[in-house]
A and B are shown apart, each in its own frame.
Chain A
Amino acid sequence: MSPRPSPDEGLTAAQLSAKYGLTVSGARPGLAEYIRQLWGRRHFILAFSQAKLTAQYSQAKLGQLWQVATPLLNAAVYFFIFGVILKASRGMSRDVYIPFLVTGVFVFTFTQSSIMAGVRAISGNLGLVRALHFPRASLPISFALQQLQQLLFSMIVLFIIVVGFGSYPSLSWLLIVPILVLQFLFNTGLALIVARMGAKTPDLAQLMPFMLRTWMYASGVMFSISTMMEGRSEVFVRLLQVNPAAVYMDLMRFAIIDGYGASNLPPHVWAIAAFWAVVLFVGGFVYFWQAEERYGRG
């Protein structure tokens, strides 16, 4: 069969490949090697997230203005329904409730949209995955990074609202940085997990909005868990409060709203925040890596 006579005749395929240093195609690299490859693509990850961010509104006439207008409109809708119609502000003055609500909406949206983008990170970019070789974790990480940049735009709106309702910048605002780092790690971990699940079962993208909405209403985005759940058992309230979404929201509110004191935070709140971030990020990364060779197949 061989078209040319070869001095390697007689060697089996395995021996021949070993002799010339060939490797099995499509094999998954080890975890350390994978992290090294991923680090090599850090410019790609950053450029991809920025490109996606600007492409998002490329078809809109107002263009990049929507980066800021979208979160603002979101906050207005929630304020109308929960602040004006349902009066969920129980126990809070208007000066606290409005920043409370807007912070909650923005912080939760950060996690929510990271997950929604993560589900489609592989299944929505099959063209790219099938055409070029790169560590696939670049995609979910890049989408989480895109949401972080989106949140930074929202933060501009948030600062204006918070200052408008009488909470002025103070030293506690510095806490924003560690809070965002922890939440970003948490979101990235979740995005990696759902990216693997979504790659195998694209139906997840249909199911996700319902799960996320349930999570949102249970996390106290528009009401204070401790006030609303008064009279319920202690364990129940604590369970609601250690929910990672609630933890990051409450920490952010504590950091920037003057009238929102430490009494609203569950005990060991920083430990809980760090725990969720590290466990989800490391767990999610390993979980995603384990299926590396299977993405884009079928």
Chain B
Amino acid sequence: MAEQNLEQTPRDLVPTVIADELHIVYRVHGAKTGKGSATSALSRIVKRGEERGVRKVHAVKGVSFVAYRGEAVGLIGSNGSGKSTLLRAIAGLLPAEKGRVYTNGQPSLLGVNAALMNDLTGERNVILGGLAMGMSREQVRERYQEIVDFSGINEKGDFITLPMRTYSSGMAARLRFSIAAAKDHDVLMIDEALATGDRKFQVRSEERIRELRKSAGTVFLVSHNNKSIRDTCDRVLWLERGELRMDGPTDEVLKEYEKFTGK
């Protein structure tokens, strides 16, 4: 039975991420009582009321989709439409209020804001990042030069031996991307990472994303840059106010989206 199913399923239709009626609700403490003074904070602690002074933000409302192996899926939508929230839920970093996310292996989320360890040198960050992702010491040693070269950190001098706090935001983002992209992920999610870095690095990272897809992974990309979505993704999910507005091939969805935003 199982064999028969596998024969019927073309190779590129192996699901890697399934979102099933996913709802995500943020609870914001103390947003209603407003003042944020010491007394109101104290009364919140004393009262301990579950719902008192807690505001709920329904960020994702019933999103369902299936992503397949080898796909690059773009996520678009205006600011605050729930794109980053959805990615963090897929990565297992946010609990679902209702519904579920099923994934193949452990998805890795790569965000621009996610700093590694600022007081350590770039060199140490490469080694520690690799080890933290579960690479062995030998694998890290093997890939080290490749990661540094890819990031291009050393193109303008010996920056890799300086602490990461001395890096510009673009340099830090490049190094982080290079570390995360060094490993073959089952599911890799990138939050606006391609917006940072110079043109040369963008071209290089798009290339790497294509490689990652070939090695049987799924890539999610959140970006406000329609061009980088068009260059890297073959499928786009359009979120608006937490709801899935459209799901389809890149060109179709982007055309509608551009009409919607009035471009």
Contact = CB atoms under 8 A, between A and B. Distances in A.
Do these two chains really belong together in a complex?
Answer: yes
Interface of A: 1-4, 6-8, 12-14, 16-17, 19-27, 40-41, 43-44, 47-48, 51-52, 55, 58, 125, 127-128, 130-134, 138, 293-294, 296-297
A293 B92 contact: yes
Contacts of A12: 20
Where chain B touches its partner, the secondary structure class is: mixed
B111 to A, nearest CB: 7
Given A25-B107, A131-B115, 18 more contacts: A2-B66, A4-B13, A7-B9, A8-B15, A13-B19, A13-B20, A13-B64, A13-B102, A17-B102, A24-B103, A47-B128, A48-B131, A51-B117, A55-B124, A131-B109, A132-B132, A132-B133, A296-B93
A41 B102 contact: no
- The 6 A-B residue pairs whose C-beta atoms are closest, nearest first, are A26-B92, A13-B20, A17-B102, A44-B131, A131-B114, A22-B102
B104 interface: yes
A22 B131 contact: no
Contacts of A294: 95
A79 to B, nearest CB: 32
B31 interface: no
B103 A23 contact: yes
Interface residues of B, number: 61
A204 to B, nearest CB: 14
A3 B110 CA distance: 26
Contact of A25 (B91, B133, B244): B91
Given A3-B248, A55-B119, A131-B110, A23 B102 contact: yes
Contact of A40 (B88, B102, B134): B134
A58 B109 contact: no
A133 B108 contact: yes
